[in-house]
Amino acid sequence: MALIVQKYGGTSVGSIERIRNVAERVAKFKMLGHQVVVVVSAMSGETNRLIALAKEINKEPDPRELDVLVSTGEQITIALLAMALKDLGLKAKSYTGWQIPMHTDGAFNKARLESIEETAIRADLGSGHVVVVAGFQGIDSANNITTLGRGGSDTTGVALAAALHADECQIYTDVDGVYTTDPRIVPEARKLNTVTFEEMLELASLGSKVLQIRSVEFAGKYKVKLRVLSSFEDEGEGTLITFEEDSMEQPVISGIAFNRDEAKLTILGVPDKPGVAGHILAPIADANIDVDMIVQNVGHDGTTDFSFTVHRSEMQKALEVLGMVKSAIGAREVIGDDKIAKVSLVGVGMRTHAGVASRMFKALAGENINIQMISTSEIKISVVVDDKYMELAVRTLHQAFELENETAAKAAGN
């Protein structure tokens, strides 16, 4: 007998028929003698619908009340799934986040899970129930309902698996695993049988929304056995997130991530002397704005240009801060650009293989795609390009590194 946590995303519970299918899958696992905890998202489109309603009242809805509102999406699906399970003759019980309780900090709309009360779940599992938990939500120390950020049900699933020491956490979604890139953008993308935890962490943080980044962080910290699978197929092993690297078999590049979440700020004609970067970035940090990529150009005529990226939602705030910095340091001009995209190659094989960057730049140049910024780490290379070339860049790189072909991708690593 194993204890399994299964998480079903919005599309997987998007209609009554699909909720019945989920119930049948859960029943199969029960039949095999396993204990099952199920985490569900809201029905697809529901969270967006609720946010849009809130925005009809106010463009910047009150964060506390927004969490009260959006958490109702998951309350609907837990009840419907528990009913469907009972309809199949199983014992089932639904729980909202506060009923468990799932304790979080007080950061509305992006709360972090702090601890989980397991007593009720363990008792229900012991008496043969399937426990159905609302994803994405919790309660803070002042009894406010909180939510965990978009895609947060993944994190609920993995955190529950960690707390309960589950044998496996299965993330059921509308694709049958983690692919070399989003199959919606590159139809030739290939499903990976395994991906290392480190790579998954990079892919998620660089924009692959198949798993919320915090869920991957939890999986790493608590060594949760995590698998991504399709809720629409009965067969298939999905993708296992592994903690070991098989260096012999490892392709150089495992996947490509992309996002349009960032904006670029450039400050032109900055006097080129020591301490410039600090003068520009300290006030940005003081304003609580996170900076991602940074480029300082080679100086000429005693001045230089300095660019960095921030989350797109913080561009206006950053522009205001830079306006003040400009006068203070005597720079010429400040420019904000939110028509950018970041495209990243990820692979642990990069540690042992040179030449990835040059191959990447050559492939992009071949399509006349200008690279505006570059940043690298041991296992990833990211470039910023014009937003309108993002999909072309992803397809070009997928082809250049022959990611559609497993043998070729691995051969490239030899």
Alpha-carbon span 251 to 347, nearest angstrom: 7
155 vs 309, beta carbon nearer ligand ASP: 155
CB 112 within 8 A of CB 155: no
Strand duo 239-242 + 226-230: pairing: antiparallel
Tell me: does residue 14 bind ligand ASP (CB under 6 A). no
**What is the residue-wise DSSP string for 354-371?**
--HHHHHHHHHHHTTPPP
| Region of residue 20 (phi > 0: left; psi between -120 and 50: alpha; otherwise: beta) | alpha
110 vs 353, beta carbon nearer ligand ASP: 110
Tell me: does residue 9 bind ligand ADP (CB under 6 A). yes
Q: Which of 5, 19, 23, 42 forms a contact with ligand ASP (CB under 6 A)? A: 42
Alpha-carbon span 300 to 269, nearest angstrom: 9
Q: Of Mg ion, ligand ASP, ligand ADP, none, which one sits near residue 11, judging by CB under 5 to 8 A according to partner kind? A: ligand ADP
Alpha-carbon span 151 to 226, nearest angstrom: 16
CB 159 within 8 A of CB 121: no
Q: Which of 12, 47, 250, 382 forms a contact with ligand ASP (CB under 6 A)? A: 47
384: helix, strand or coil: strand
Residues lying near Mg ion in the complex (CB under 5 A): 9, 151
Tell me: does residue 151 bind ligand ASP (CB under 6 A). yes
Residues that contact ligand ADP, how many (by CB under 6 A): 18
Query: What's the closest the beta carbon of residue 211 comes to ligand ASP, in angstroms?
Result: 10
Nearest 5°: the CA angle 256, 352, 402 is: 35
Strand duo 239-242 + 194-196: pairing: parallel
How many helices and strands in the chain, by DSSP H and E? 12, 20
Tell me: does residue 136 bind ligand ASP (CB under 6 A). yes
Tell me: does residue 308 bind ligand ASP (CB under 6 A). no
Question: Which residue type is seen at 241?
Answer: I
- String of contacts with ligand ADP for each residue 186-225, x by CB under 6 A: ----------------------xxx---------------
Tell me: does residue 97 bind ligand ASP (CB under 6 A). no
Q: Of ligand ADP, ligand ASP, Mg ion, none, which one sits near residue 136, judging by CB under 5 to 8 A according to partner kind? A: ligand ASP
Question: Which residue type is seen at 354?
Answer: A
Alpha-carbon span 362 to 18, nearest angstrom: 46
136 vs 258, beta carbon nearer ligand ASP: 136
Specify the DSSP element, H or E, that contains 29: helix 16-31
79 vs 363, beta carbon nearer ligand ASP: 79
Tell me: does residue 41 bind ligand ASP (CB under 6 A). yes
Query: What's the closest the beta carbon of residue 394 comes to ligand ASP, in angstroms?
Result: 23
CB 303 within 8 A of CB 362: no
Query: What's the closest the beta carbon of residue 74 comes to ligand ASP, in angstroms?
Result: 6
Selected range binding ligand ASP among 98-106, 152-160, 264-272, 392-400, rule: CB under 6 A: 152-160
Alpha-carbon span 184 to 391, nearest angstrom: 10
Q: Which of 184, 223, 273, 332 forms a contact with ligand ADP (CB under 6 A)? A: 184
- Closest to 350 measured CA to CA, from 208, 239, 217, 255: 255
Q: Which of 35, 47, 181, 194 forms a contact with ligand ADP (CB under 6 A)? A: 181
Alpha-carbon span 70 to 398, nearest angstrom: 37
Selected range binding ligand ASP among 40-48, 110-118, 138-146, 271-279, rule: CB under 6 A: 40-48
Tell me: does residue 238 bind ligand ADP (CB under 6 A). no
Binding site for ligand ASP (CB under 6 A): 9-10, 41-42, 47, 73, 135-136, 150-154
Interface with ligand ADP by CB under 6 A: which residues? 9-12, 41, 151, 173-175, 178-179, 181-182, 184, 208-210, 255
